[in-house]
Amino acid sequence: MEPKFWLDRWKNSDIGFHREDANINLRRFWPQLNLPSKSSVFVPLCGMSQDMSWLAQNGHKVIGVELSDIAIKRFFKGQNLSPQLRQQDGFQVWSAGPFELWAGDMFKLPSQLINNCPAVYDRASLVALPSAMQNDYAKLLITHLPAQAQILLISLSYDQKEMDGPPFSTPTQRVEDLFQPSFGIEVLDQTMTLEENDNLKKRGLTSLYETCYLLKK
Ligand SMILES: C[S@@+](CC[C@H](N)C(=O)[O-])C[C@H]1O[C@@H](n2cnc3c(N)ncnc32)[C@H](O)[C@@H]1O
């Protein structure tokens, strides 16, 4: 999956994955992570997710990374914030209030950025990546997150024969193959979610599950 694919989608406002409200599993299960207040949360492939705003409202500093600066600018505009811009490690870094969003390729992030992050929030991020990139994604988190880090992961699974990704079907077995044994994996919830994803139904899906996992390093 080339960066151009995603940059074009943002340029064309082809963002059927975006949601206006904070994710229900985030609101329901985040308290289980029991994190110290003000701790940093890493949000990979963050888009302009309103989940970042929910995390900030719940006391966190949010560190996001996103290929498209269109997404980042739209996020700050939606928050009524005027971000400051700096250049660091080959990235444009936009920051305001509790948000620090890095514009660029997640796989080129400086590792020290997440070395001290006790938590990661992933909704529609792992599933946005094809198989080989999913391997790199898991390897990056396994290598650079600190001991006892936790990941709230919201994944999708469906019959991959019905549709090409993204999103790519990423069932429990695949999550286990990617993250075990470095992380313990607990399934918190699994819901049939086709009716809430009309865009994917139109692409041919007859069944779709959203599964929420808590991963502990
Ligand atoms: C399916 S969207 C999900 C966005 C967000 N997590 C949400 O819930 O709305 C995937 C996002 O990842 C971004 N992306 C894809 N590959 C990336 C990479 N290598 N580094 C940073 N961002 C990337 C895309 O631009 C897109 O905004």
Question: What is the residue-wise DSSP string for 17-56?
Answer: T--SS--HHHHHHGGGG-PPTT-EEEEET-TT-HHHHHHH
- Which architecture characterizes domain 3-16+23-216 according to CATH? 3-Layer(aba) Sandwich (3.40)
Whether the per-residue pLDDT at 1 is higher than 80: the answer is no
pLDDT tens digits, 61-100 = 999 999 999 999 999 999 999 999 999 999 999 999 999 9
Q: What is the pLDDT of residue 128?
A: 98
31 Cα: distance to centroid of ligand 1 (angstroms): 25
3 Cα: distance to centroid of ligand 1 (angstroms): 10
**Ligand 1 atom having least distance to the Cα of 7:** 25
Q: Is 68 in the pocket of ligand 1 (CB under 6 A)?
A: yes
63 Cα: distance to centroid of ligand 1 (angstroms): 14
Q: Is 209 in the pocket of ligand 1 (CB under 6 A)?
A: no
Residues 6+ apart with CB under 8 A from 167: 17, 124, 127, 128, 156, 200
Q: What is the pLDDT of residue 77?
A: 98
127 Cα: distance to centroid of ligand 1 (angstroms): 10
Q: Looking at the whole model, is its pTM more than 0.95? A: yes
61-66 sheet: strands from edge to edge: 84-88, 91-96, 99-103, 61-66, 40-44, 119-123, 150-157, 209-216, 184-192
